[in-house]
């Protein structure tokens, strides 16, 4: 198998590094070598500058600046590299998947070509790299035409010139499914780059794409791989972790992070690892954590959609070939749009826009104001309301009474102002709707009892092993109302549930429409997997565009479906 050969090749490089150290360490000078690491995360195929809040960065004083766009990101990478001749470009996962139509229409091949153009050296596998399963990931890595759609962007598609890494993904038999680590040489000094993806990846993808694979504990995988590098004498080690924390605010270099999985990993993993680039949570932070040996190391994430570049400058002792931790400097660089874009990448983006244009620019509806995904204190959002209403309307043939959808499936805002395509203010194009709902999930209607419906709503609060609670507010159709209490205990927060104005009977049956990801228990909503009498429906994007077409001049709904009390 190709992957096995690649893993063997990495092992050979590690062995070569070990043999190369024999008899040379004592003669090496004590001077340091500088190494700049430049990383981005959660790019999600945003080749064009993202619109609305998705294309802005919040600064320390609370103001915002426009940011992002592949051609601008490339120009900033070139500038940052010019300041530091020894540089590596890394990615912390979710670079593809959940992408705008400009990339997604071509199975994200333009985004991989962009990453090749900027000289990406390695990327960890995010959950969205796994959206279409292992076979498609191998195709993205090694090239070849899509088995169904063929090569629609460039023929042939040649694949990624950088490795996708994940030390904690194995086949069911325990053998590695992908490369765990890659080794780069800087001034003759080996640098080990380890990747780990989130252990709970199976909970955020459809079940069929993870059959036959195991996703292990992040810290265990980091420690195991770090020990391999230690044995090979590779002292400079960097971790790409597709897992992240949340923040309480601040600018790109703020560190007001809430207790979360990324910090937990970075404080528990092997002290041999010198730096942690993280992703998945789409947050901006720049922190210093303490390793198990009491030494500092950076923990950083650069928001999402190519708006920030996370930069870590290391000094490596040439004698020990290890990082001088006290000299490490890290910052998040805003990908401003005030510099000249990279011409080569801009040409690639323009080609993708032109080829996708006939589909992307088709009008599907009109709105009177921005439909945003930002939630009110109750958890309800205007765009979430509209999508849930659209899904209910599209499944009336299944006798659906309510619809609920997961907020993670809503990827960006619908903005009133015209896009650069010039469609006009208030016009919603197919490409804009696709950017909101890019997954192509299938609508399904299931039967739940009233008691099960309450359990589903209670599962919006999900306790974590570290004692924290993750909240995932479902977006609900206008036919469903309920109240939740901030002071409520686990399993006892939700009350006053009504369907079409009538109190819910715990013993009665209700027809509930969800997408197939939620119907399988995704995002921790395991009670939905117990639904019965499943009926299929349209693709969620088709439901959304049909609703927009049927409701011209759509205004943001009032947030009155969910009530929050102390």
Domain ranges within the chain, ordered by starting residue: 2-9+30-343, 363-565
Tell the residue number behind the tokens 């800087």, with chain if given: 186
Report pLDDT for 259.
79
Confidence class for position 10, pLDDT limits 50, 70, 90: low
Report pLDDT for 8.
52
pLDDT for 28 beyond 90:
no
* Cα–Cα distance measured from residue 46 to residue 352, given in angstroms and rounded to the nearest whole number: 11
**Mean residue pLDDT across the chain:** 93
Q: Are 215 and 172 in contact (CB under 8 A)?
A: no
- Output the CA torsion 63→65→68→73 (10° steps): -110
User: Which CATH code for domain 363-565?
Assistant: 3.90.780.10
Report pLDDT for 394.
96
* Cα–Cα distance measured from residue 333 to residue 331, given in angstroms and rounded to the nearest whole number: 6
Confidence class for position 11, pLDDT limits 50, 70, 90: low
CA geometry: angle at 108 spanning 103 and 110, to 5°?
70
Residues near 285 by beta carbon (within 8 Å), at least 6 away in sequence: 245, 247, 250, 253, 254, 255, 256, 257, 299, 300, 301
Q: Which of 559, 545, 516 is nearest to 362 (CA)?
A: 545
Compute the average pLDDT of residues 291-303. Answer: 98
More confident residue, 516 or 313: 313
More confident residue, 256 or 23: 256
Compute the average pLDDT of residues 277-293. Answer: 96
Domain 2-9+30-343, CATH number (from 3.30.110.30, 3.30.365.10, 3.40.50.300, 3.60.21.10) = 3.60.21.10
Q: Is 469 exposed, middle or buried (0-12, 13-18, 19+ CB in 10 A)?
A: exposed
Q: What is the DSSP string of 270-315?
A: -TT--EEEE-SS--EEEEEEE-TTS-EEEEEEE-STTSEEEEEEEE
Confidence class for position 485, pLDDT limits 50, 70, 90: very high
* Cα–Cα distance measured from residue 546 to residue 368, given in angstroms and rounded to the nearest whole number: 17
Helix (H) or strand (E) holding 194: strand 189-197
Compute the average pLDDT of residues 33-62. Answer: 94
Compute the average pLDDT of residues 63-71. Answer: 97
Report pLDDT for 14.
52
Confidence class for position 536, pLDDT limits 50, 70, 90: confident
* Cα–Cα distance measured from residue 155 to residue 333, given in angstroms and rounded to the nearest whole number: 35
* Cα–Cα distance measured from residue 106 to residue 103, given in angstroms and rounded to the nearest whole number: 6
**Percent of all residues in the chain with a pLDDT value above 90, rounded to a whole number:** 85
pLDDT for 330 beyond 90:
yes
Q: Are 166 and 178 in contact (CB under 8 A)?
A: yes
* Cα–Cα distance measured from residue 379 to residue 476, given in angstroms and rounded to the nearest whole number: 10
Cross-strand partners of 312: 37, 330
Q: What is the DSSP letter of 328?
A: -
Distances (CA, A) of 179 to 313, 340, 427: 25, 36, 45
499-510 pLDDT, tens digit each = 999 999 999 999
Distances (CA, A) of 526 to 131, 515, 521: 20, 14, 4
Task: Answer positive or negative: Cα dihedral of 319, 229, 192, 182.
Answer: positive
* Cα–Cα distance measured from residue 122 to residue 183, given in angstroms and rounded to the nearest whole number: 10
* Cα–Cα distance measured from residue 239 to residue 38, given in angstroms and rounded to the nearest whole number: 13
409-440 pLDDT, tens digit each = 999 999 999 988 888 999 999 999 999 999 88
Confidence class for position 6, pLDDT limits 50, 70, 90: low
Q: Which of 299, 324, 305, 304 is nearest to 314 (CA)?
A: 324
**Percent of all residues in the chain with a pLDDT value above 70, rounded to a whole number:** 95
């Amino acid at each position: 198998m190709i992957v096995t050969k690649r893993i063997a090749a990495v092992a050979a490089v590690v062995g070569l590094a070990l043999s190369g150290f024999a008899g040379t360490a004592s003669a090496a000078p004590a001077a340091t070598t500088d190494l700049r690491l430049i990383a981005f995360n959660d790019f999600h195929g945003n080749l064009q500058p993202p619109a609305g809040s998705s294309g802005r960065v919040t600064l320390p004083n609370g103001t915002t600046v426009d940011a992002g766009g592949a051609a601008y990101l490339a120009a900033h990478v070139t500038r940052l590299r010019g300041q530091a001749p020894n540089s590596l470009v890394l990615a912390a996962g979710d670079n593809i998947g959940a992408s705008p139509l400009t990339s997604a229409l071509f199975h994200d091949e333009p985004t991989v070509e962009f990453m090749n153009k900027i000289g990406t050296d390695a990327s960890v596998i995010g959950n969205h790299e796994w959206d279409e399963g292992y076979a498609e990931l191998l195709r993205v890595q090694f090239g070849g035409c899509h088995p169904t759609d063929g090569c629609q962007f460039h023929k042939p598609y040649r694949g990624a010139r950088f490795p996708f890494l994940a030390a904690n993904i194995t086949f069911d038999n325990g053998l590695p499914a992908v490369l765990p680590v890659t080794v780069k040489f800087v001034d003759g000094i080996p640098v080990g780059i380890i990747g780990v993806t989130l252990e709970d990846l199976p909970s955020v993808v459809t079940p069929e794409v993870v059959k036959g694979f195991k996703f292990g504990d992040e810290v265990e995988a980091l420690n195991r791989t770090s020990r391999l590098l230690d044995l090979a004498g590779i002292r400079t080690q960097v971790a790409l972790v597709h897992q992240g924390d949340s923040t309480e605010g601040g600018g790109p270099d703020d560190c007001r992070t809430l207790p979360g999985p990324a910090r937990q990993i970075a404080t528990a993993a092997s002290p041999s690892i010198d730096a942690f680039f993280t992703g998945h949570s789409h947050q901006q932070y720049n922190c210093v954590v303490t390793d198990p040996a009491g030494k500092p190391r950076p923990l950083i994430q650069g928001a999402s959609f190519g708006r920030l570049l996370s930069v870590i400058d290391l000094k490596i002792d040439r004698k020990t070939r290890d990082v001088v931790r006290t000299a490490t400097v890290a910052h998040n660089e805003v990908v401003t749009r005030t510099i000249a874009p990279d011409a080569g990448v801009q040409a690639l983006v323009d080609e993708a826009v032109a080829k996708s244009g006939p589909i992307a620019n088709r009008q599907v509806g009109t709105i009177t104001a921005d439909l945003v995904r930002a939630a009110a204190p109750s958890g309800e959002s205007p765009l979430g309301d509209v999508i849930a209403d659209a899904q209910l309307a599209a499944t009336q043939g299944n006798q659906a009474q309510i619809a609920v959808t997961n907020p993670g499936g809503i990827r960006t805002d619908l903005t009133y102002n015209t896009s650069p395509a010039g469609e006009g203010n208030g016009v919603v194009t197919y490409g804009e709707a696709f950017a909101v709902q890019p997954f192509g999930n299938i609508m399904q209607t299931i039967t739940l009892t009233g008691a099960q419906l309450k359990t589903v709503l209670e599962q919006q609060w999900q306790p974590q092993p570290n004692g924290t609670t993750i909240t995932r507010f479902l977006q609900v159709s206008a036919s469903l109302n309920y109240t939740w209490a901030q002071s409520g205990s686990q399993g006892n927060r939700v009350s006053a549930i009504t369907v079409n104005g009538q109190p819910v009977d715990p013993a009665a049956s209700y027809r509930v429409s969800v997408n197939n990801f939620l119907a399988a228990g995704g995002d921790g909503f395991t009670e939905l997997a117990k639904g019965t009498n499943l009926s299929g429906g349209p693709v969620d994007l088709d439901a959304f565009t049909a609703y927009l077409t049927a409701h011209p001049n759509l205004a943001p709904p009032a947030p009155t479906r969910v009530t929050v009390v102390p």
